[in-house]
Amino acid sequence: MPYRAPVSEFRFVLDQVVGMDQVAATELFAEATPETVEAILSEAGKLCETVLAPLNRAGDLTPAKLENGVVRTSPGFAEGYRAITEGGWVGMAASPEHGGMGLPMSLTTAVNEMIGSACLSLQLNPLMTQGQIEALEHHASDAIKELYIPKLISGEWCGTMNLTEAGAGSDVGALRTKAERNGDGTYAVTGQKIFITWGDNDFAGNICHLVLARLPDGAPGTRGISLFMVPKFIPDESGNPGKRNSLGVVSLEHKLGLHGSPTAVMQYDGATGWLIGEEHKGMAAMFTMMNNARLGVGMQGVAIAEAAFQHALTYATDRKQGKTPLGATAIVDHADVRRMLGQMKAETFAARAIALACAVAIDMGRATGSADWQARAALLTPIAKAYGTDMGNEVAYLGVQVHGGMGFIEETGAAQFSRDARVTSIYEGTNGIQAMDLVGRKMMDGGAAAYRLLQEIEDHASEARATLPDLAGDVWAAAEALREATEWLVAQEANDRNAGAVPYLRAFARVLGGHYHLKAALADASRQPLAAFAIKRLMPEHSALIAQMREGAAGLYALTPEALAS
Ligand SMILES: Cc1cc2nc3c(=O)[nH]c(=O)nc-3n(C[C@H](O)[C@H](O)[C@H](O)COP(=O)(O)OP(=O)(O)OC[C@H]3O[C@@H](n4cnc5c(N)ncnc54)[C@H](O)[C@@H]3O)c2cc1C
């Protein structure tokens, strides 16, 4: 079933729901006029529908493979990559100083969703590069910026991020990769990294690895880590790929999904690297890349959800089975199938709105320097990542269910969405780690950023009472319940917060979802049925989630390993 880029939906969410007009009103993003946004979304949409979507199945059936130390990518991926780079889509948000388009993150995030819906395993490649460009823009020396960023933007070279090791996953601070000063300003990096997305390919002139490693005098834990640029080919005096660096791909993983994306074990043997940022301050630099990637991965969840929904709706409209109360025979008219499709659409809308609201906050933080906008972006990032990817999984799961037995058969493509979505809740910081970030670092302000957002939701709901009293009343009450839950949360000690982190994050997303659906229903009356579905059937879950959150840690630890095993 062909993918249809939801261009008008993006326009609606950006214009009517998440306040993109504020971004376009800033001096920095003055070029992002409605006409430019429309033109960019339409152009990217065409590429996704015609060039990238047809690659998705090929990537699944013919995974990337390692041949004599070189990664051979899936059929058509090189051409697909070239089309992405020729369109300038890698450097959309990058600074014009180095050849980027300087467009807002809100627009880049929308385009990334479409590329991810079309072919998620290929989209991971430019996503990693985009994160690397941002990290270099903020933390690299001028010489590194001038050499690397233009080539990354043009797509001539690709970027990767290397954090994970066998003994250092969620606990990055446990890493053992070493770096030593060579005495000439460069460093020798030695160690093994695992699970490195697009660790190599056969279509870029160079692969630029950003690698976390510890110098001999680096303190234990995350405080003693430094970040290095370690290219596959060491640039020569003219900046062209020169001598081969001492690094390589040891093996590629056999994965549940995302077969077109090579996930590599990388070995560094005294490989030459250049410091990014300051010694021992690598985590700060890597966080720039990770925050970018967290929003990007959240949008990957939305991307899968949109594609899975389109598939399921088409199938449900064609498939005839039994008699329905509406007299017709297509399964879309069975109440339970309608419920599943309604849930898929409502969740996709909410997850997209949350991710785009986060992107708008990033843009506003950059354009105005406002600490409040920056805090809003920081607060929304873990929610956008965790809820977006959980919804990618749940919507893809429902997509299989709508297909019945055919959902379990690979030809329909419904199963691939489910397999591809699974890892999005795991990589880029598991969703449990995202939730702990929300209740920990993001509440270090005592909940101030959360309260500001909840106040806006309540104010909007109060205004909306005049038009949609029932729905607005529910949203107001849910926001108030979340405010009380937040007051309780910030008064708890760390492990009690952590024990309730996942339900709290989901409750927050439920309230945000209700809010954005209410906004949509006010802007366009034809959206009221979907808003009512979300507010009456999905949002009430927040009460049960808050009750779970309030249970704290003690009850969890009462489930001893012995009790679990008995
Ligand atoms: C396909 C794929 C691509 C990837 N790409 C990259 C990449 O490009 N670069 C890169 O560096 N890494 C990459 N990763 C690694 C990925 O980011 C890690 O797998 C992820 O961060 C989790 O680490 P882990 O696998 O070691 O799991 P663990 O850290 O062992 O976690 C196992 C479980 O324990 C939980 N847990 C762990 N610590 C805590 C804690 N403190 N509190 C509560 N719960 C906890 C986790 O939430 C999880 O449920 C990739 C992984 C995959 C599978």
Residue ranges covered by each domain of the chain: 431-553
Closest listed residue to residue 148, CA positions, set 36, 274, 271: 274
Taking a C-beta distance cutoff of 8 angstroms, is the pair 384, 298 a contact? yes
* pLDDT for 295 beyond 80: yes
Q: Is the CB of 172 under 6 A from ligand 1?
A: no
Q: Are strands 206-214 and 157-162 parallel, antiparallel or unpaired?
A: parallel
3-class DSSP state of 329: coil
Question: Which two three-digit tokens encode residue 56?
Answer: 């998705």
Nearest-atom number in ligand 1 for the CA of 168 is: 26
Q: Is the CB of 173 under 6 A from ligand 1?
A: no
Residue 109's pLDDT band (boundaries 50, 70, 90)?
A: very high
Cα dihedral sign for 103, 105, 106, 111?
positive
Query: How far is the centre of ligand 1, averaged over its atoms, from the C-alpha of 221 (Å)?
Result: 17
Query: How far is the centre of ligand 1, averaged over its atoms, from the C-alpha of 431 (Å)?
Result: 10
Of 253, 428, 480, 484, which is the active-site residue? 428
Q: What is the pLDDT of residue 325?
A: 84
Query: How far is the centre of ligand 1, averaged over its atoms, from the C-alpha of 256 (Å)?
Result: 15
* pLDDT for 1 beyond 80: no
| Number of other CB atoms surrounding residue 21 within 10 Å | 13
Q: Is the CB of 164 under 6 A from ligand 1?
A: yes
pTM recorded for the entire structure: 0.97
* pLDDT for 269 beyond 80: yes
Question: Angle of helix 335-368 relative to helix 501-523, nearest 10 degrees?
Answer: 90
Task: Count Cα atoms within 13 angstroms, Cβ side, for 206.
Answer: 28
Nearest-atom number in ligand 1 for the CA of 428 is: 17
Q: What is the pLDDT of residue 439?
A: 98
* pLDDT for 289 beyond 90: no
Question: How confident is the model over 321-370, as pLDDT tens digits?
Answer: 998 888 877 999 999 999 999 999 999 999 999 999 999 999 999 999 99
Residue 161: beta bridge partners?
Answer: 210
Question: How confident is the model over 473-505, as pLDDT tens digits?
Answer: 999 999 999 999 999 999 999 999 999 999 999
* pLDDT for 418 beyond 90: yes
Residue at 447: amino acid letter: G
Residue 292's pLDDT band (boundaries 50, 70, 90)?
A: confident
Cα dihedral sign for 218, 220, 226, 228?
positive
| Buried/exposed 406-423: b ≥16 CB within 10 Å, e otherwise | ebeeeebbbbbbbbbbbb
Cα dihedral sign for 166, 171, 176, 179?
positive
The pLDDT > 90 percentage for the chain reads 96
Residue 239: beta bridge partners?
Answer: none
Nearest-atom number in ligand 1 for the CA of 161 is: 9
Question: How confident is the model over 230-248, as pLDDT tens digits?
Answer: 999 999 999 999 999 999 9
Residue 253 annotated as catalytic: no
Mean pLDDT of the chain: 96
Question: Which two three-digit tokens encode residue 217?
Answer: 């005098």
- How open is the CA angle 213-298-10, to the nearest 5 degrees? 140
Mean pLDDT over 95-112 rounds to 96
CA distance 403 to 414: 8
Q: Is the CB of 161 under 6 A from ligand 1?
A: yes
Residue carrying the six token digits 């479409």:
114
Closest listed residue to residue 262, CA positions, set 158, 178, 166, 175: 158
Q: Which residues contact 400 (CB under 8 A, 6 or more apart)?
A: 407, 408, 414, 415, 418
* pLDDT for 130 beyond 80: yes
Q: What is the pLDDT of residue 55?
A: 98
Length of the chain: 566
Q: Distances in Å between the alpha carbon of 269 and those of 192, 219, 230, 282?
A: 9, 22, 11, 20
Question: How confident is the model over 164-173, as pLDDT tens digits?
Answer: 999 999 999 9
Mean pLDDT over 24-51 rounds to 96
Q: Which residues contact 366 (CB under 8 A, 6 or more apart)?
A: 28, 105
Helices (H), 68-168: 77-86, 105-118, 120-139, 142-154
- For residue 34, what is the enclosing H or E element? helix 34-47
The alpha carbon of 220 is separated from its chain's Cα centroid by a whole number of angstroms, namely 30
- Counting ligand 1 atoms within 8 A of each CB, the residue from 158, 171, 195, 505 with the most, and so the one to mutate, is 195
Query: How far is the centre of ligand 1, averaged over its atoms, from the C-alpha of 24 (Å)?
Result: 37
- For residue 228, what is the enclosing H or E element? strand 225-231
CA distance 409 to 401: 12
